[in-house]
Amino acid sequence: MAPDHLPTPEGPQDLKLSRRTLGGLLFTGYAAAALGAEARPIVTGDHGLIAGPVSFVGSGETDYPPSLPAYVARPQGSGPYPVVIVVNEIFGLHAYIQDVCRRLARQGYVAMAPGYFARAGDPATMTDFPEIMAVVRATPHAQVMADTGAALTWLDSQPWADVARAGITGFCWGGTVVWMACAAHDFKAGAAFYGRLVPPAQNAEDGRRWPVDIAAELRCPVVGLYGEADQGIPRDSVEQMRAALATAGRTESEIIVYPGADHGFHADYRPMYDAAAATDAWMRLSTLFVERLGGGAS
């Protein structure tokens, strides 16, 4: 039987969690629908870090407190450390996203991955793509932007986090969130991995905007990291975004396209993982964050 309490990164104090929240927090495996048979996922240990589940009050969710789960990894020490929000793929808060948080924590950041899908379900445990997409579609864009703001508010209440130096990164679905959040919130830098840039042919949310629509509203530099062989994000949409950035005079933002790389090239647990592209993309993320956020305690 699962425990009713889990330790939190704030220290030894326990945090009361509902059974509904525990269901998502206790799953630590890789996304059931996407794990490659020959995958050798990168595993970053938590030695020297403080890492684990937390909960924060999301945007207007009142059916159970606390509203949303999250995973936080940070360096040991009092900080305050710069902050990076990590936005998941369609597969939710699974082991890969948690590992990305630990990688960032090892670079001197407080990394927080909010459980954006928790109100609708836990796609990490699902194997049926229509079921996964139903969870994604039940998580509207406006809610995601508000939950991102709520995550920053929670971090601002922690003495070891410096939200004045906040960045954001995300993958696939989360890559789109990065572009949009860098227009909606006061981030200092963003790194968007293969996020959709233009509306899909069948737009489930009428009236919502996409990255190509908000290029002029970006508040910080964003590096977009894309694969040449990505069939889900055609090159013409990448060129549309480049043109929108140029028209808006956003010369500090750029898009990198990796020859031969597929969608999900950074996801080391998936068959399309491309070590060369992933390594270069992480280097670009790291360089941008050091330049814009700094690292370590202030």
Q: Is 220 a catalytic residue?
A: no
Q: Is 172 a catalytic residue?
A: yes
Which neighbouring-strand residues pair with 190? 168, 222
Instruction: State the residue for tokens 């995550």.
Output: 151
Please tell me which residue in 122, 263, 266, 268 is annotated as part of the active site.
263
Please tell me which residue in 94, 122, 162, 172 is annotated as part of the active site.
172
Helix axes 173-184, 141-156, angle to 10 degrees: 70
Strand pairing class (222-227; 68-75)? unpaired
Please tell me which residue in 99, 122, 230, 262 is annotated as part of the active site.
230
Q: Over the chain, what HEC string results?
A: CCCCEEEECCEEEEEECCHHHHHHHCCCCCCCCCCCCCCCCCCCCCCCEEEEEEEECCCCCCCCCCCEEEEEEEECCCCCEEEEEEECCCCCCCHHHHHHHHHHHHCCCEEEEECCCCCCCCHHHCCCHHHHHHHHHCCCHHHHHHHHHHHHHHHHCCCCEEEEEEEEEEECHHHHHHHHHHHHCCCCEEEEECCCCCCCCCCCCCCCCCHHHCHHHCCCCEEEEEECCCCCCCHHHHHHHHHHHHHCCCCCCEEEEECCCCCCCCCCCCCCCCHHHHHHHHHHHHHHHHHHHCCCCC
Q: Is 5 a catalytic residue?
A: no
Active site residues: 172, 230, 263
